[in-house]
Amino acid sequence: MIENSGVLEKMKKYKNQILATMAVNVIALSHGHAVAWLAPTLPLLQSENSPLTTGPITVEEASWIGSLVCLGGLLGCSFFGILVNHIGRKKSLYLLTVPHACFWLLIIFGTEVPHLYIARTVSGITGGGIFAAVPTFVTDISDNKIRGTLGSMFMMSFNIGILSGFILGAYLSYSLFPQVIIGLSAFFIAAIFCLPDTPQYLIQIKRDDEAEKALKFYRNFKAATKEECREFNEHLANLKNRIRGIAEEKRPKLSYRDFLQPAAVRGLLAGIGLMFLNQFSGLFALICYTPSIFEMSGSNMDGNTCTIIVGAIQLLGTIVATNLVDRTGRRILLIVSCLGVALGSFALSVFSYLSVSQDLTHLSWLAVTSVSFAIFLGSIGLIPLPFVVFTEIMPHKVKAVSVSVCLMILNLLAFTVLKIYPMMMINFGMHGVMWISGGLTTIGAVLIFFFLPETKGKCLEVKDDDS
């Protein structure tokens, strides 16, 4: 009873922060549906029953439809990364609905392959913008004590969107699916309409009265004593001093020599290596092309059913990762994740190879088990942790530029993988592609063991000289 009352008291205290975080993550949920749209839809587009007037799409066209989302992500991340500091977090969130709604409208009214190219590109712009705007908003409004929990709701919402998108895509028609989901854009606007912008941004643009009201709203502040008023005013004053101090502080000039310092070189190599593993493990491609992968592996299980199972496993892995990352450390999770993905990839490769010459219908469950195992282990390490480790390992002075560079590299790597994956499955067979993925992640586990330092508990305020 005491524990329950403590939880209820905590929920009451942080009510507005929790509700605001749930509201802004509606767009992450909806974008998860947009990402999930491809997997159950691609087999239909490639069939004789294609809804496009141009008929069934080719493998080359499928690879462009799959990969253009990453080029859009490159644009969205850069564009909205600038917007959140120039027009504010809330207006940036509003603007996200424009490319998002355009994606669904193009799916509804598009009749040719180029329409889908444009749709996937604008969907990528939404995704890049979401990754820039939503975490910034949530970090700004969150109390230190629940910031980690509220921050984890972003990926949770995104993965719930992917899973529910797989389910809707499997059971709704090509035209009905987007008509159902597009309404979430209007719901998102309504959900955040009453939310004030973040206190940090309002202080930055010198609207102090609004900043104070916003801080009172998000902290659910209802002064009962003089002591509580004093604490609130101290917190507000410290926030103003910190934000204005950063704005007025003369930023140290960066030169190419800063990136040649040993700590910066090690950090960049580690970051690029982790981004490479994140994509060339094939995990994102597995999620995007799930039905096609199961079909080519020789499994006779329904592709849409397999896709839903994979989506559920990914969500479960995200939940497990949230609970483990600060307990076990980043390095061990990455090593276990790499080895688990390798094992799942090798298992699917063997099954696919043997299914060419033998009837393995009675063992079709092995294919979905192998992919699910790889996705689950990938979700506790290789998918979420490269971003965490990279921000922790880079020296403070070069961190901002380095993170931007690595995100650009990540989008280019994702574009490359999604573009070549369908053609590699044709040229090398499913077993060949899985052997490559398994080999790369095995090598990755060895390199992480010998060269990647543990960053759990690392103080992020150390000077570059101490790195």
pLDDT value at position 332? Answer: 92
**What distance in Å separates the CA atoms of residue 10 and residue 220, rounded to the nearest whole number?**
11
pLDDT value at position 326? Answer: 67
Per-chain mean pLDDT for the chain: 87
3-state secondary structure of 391: helix
**What distance in Å separates the CA atoms of residue 465 and residue 261, rounded to the nearest whole number?**
10
CA atoms within a 13 Å half-sphere pointing along the CA-CB vector of 53: 6
Distance between alpha carbon 126 and the CA centroid of its chain, in Å? 12
pLDDT value at position 447? Answer: 95
Last residue of a domain, one of 154, 177, 195: 195
The DSSP annotation for 27-69 comes to: HHHHHHHHHHTHHHHHHHHHSTT-SSTT-SPPHHHHHHHHHHH
CA atoms within a 13 Å half-sphere pointing along the CA-CB vector of 81: 16
CATH label of the domain that carries residue 41: 1.20.1250.20
Tell whether 230 and 319 lie within a shared domain: no
The DSSP annotation for 293-332 comes to: HHHHHT--S-HHHHHHHHHHHHHHHHHHHHHHHHHH-HHH
Distance between alpha carbon 116 and the CA centroid of its chain, in Å? 22
Domain range for 213: 202-248
Tell whether 302 and 356 lie within a shared domain: yes
**What distance in Å separates the CA atoms of residue 377 and residue 84, rounded to the nearest whole number?**
34
Tell whether 123 and 58 lie within a shared domain: yes
The CB density around residue 31, as the number of other CB atoms within 10 Å, is 27
Cα 167-148-316 angle, rounded to 5 deg: 30
pLDDT band at residue 458 using 50, 70 and 90 as cut-offs = low
Tokens for 261, please give them: 């310092």
pLDDT value at position 156? Answer: 87
pLDDT band at residue 419 using 50, 70 and 90 as cut-offs = very high
In a domain, residue 3? The reply is no
pLDDT value at position 324? Answer: 80
Residue 250: φ, ψ to 5°: -75, 115
Question: What is the tens place of the pLDDT at every residue in 109-134?
Answer: 999 999 999 999 999 999 999 988 99
In a domain, residue 47? The reply is yes
Tell whether 114 and 223 lie within a shared domain: no
Question: What is the tens place of the pLDDT at every residue in 54-104?
Answer: 899 999 999 999 999 999 999 998 899 889 888 999 999 999 999 999 999
**What distance in Å separates the CA atoms of residue 23 and residue 93, rounded to the nearest whole number?**
11
In a domain, residue 361? The reply is yes
Rounded mean pLDDT, 137-166: 86
Residue found by looking up tokens 């605001």 in the block: 20
Tell whether 236 and 315 lie within a shared domain: no
Residue found by looking up tokens 């990364």 in the block: 81
3-class SS letters over 69-126: HHHHHHHHHHHHHHHHHHCCHHHHHHHHHHHHHHHHHHHHHCCCHHHHHHHHHHHHHH
Question: What is the tens place of the pLDDT at every residue in 186-199?
Answer: 999 999 999 999 98
**What distance in Å separates the CA atoms of residue 443 and residue 26, rounded to the nearest whole number?**
38
Tell whether 431 and 313 lie within a shared domain: yes
Tell whether 224 and 285 lie within a shared domain: no
In a domain, residue 5? The reply is no
**What distance in Å separates the CA atoms of residue 83 and residue 78, rounded to the nearest whole number?**
9
In a domain, residue 170? The reply is yes
Tell whether 161 and 209 lie within a shared domain: no
Tokens for 74, please give them: 């490159």
- C-alpha distances (whole Å) from 392 to each of 335, 389, 403, 453 are 18, 5, 11, 11
In a domain, residue 2? The reply is no
- C-alpha distances (whole Å) from 387 to each of 72, 148, 208, 320, 410 are 19, 15, 34, 17, 10
Tell whether 170 and 35 lie within a shared domain: yes
Residue 316: φ, ψ to 5°: -60, -40
pLDDT of residue 462 exceeding 50: no
Burial class (CB in 10 A: 0-12, 13-18, 19+), 149: middle
In a domain, residue 209? The reply is yes
Q: Is pLDDT larger for residue 52 or for residue 298?
A: 52
Burial class (CB in 10 A: 0-12, 13-18, 19+), 94: middle
Tell whether 206 and 301 lie within a shared domain: no
Output the pTM of the full model: 0.84
Tell whether 345 and 242 lie within a shared domain: no
Tell whether 119 and 73 lie within a shared domain: yes
In a domain, residue 256? The reply is no
Q: Is pLDDT larger for residue 21 or for residue 361?
A: 21
Question: What is the tens place of the pLDDT at every residue in 235-255?
Answer: 788 888 877 765 555 556 777
Last residue of a domain, one of 178, 195, 212: 195
Number of domains in the chain: 3
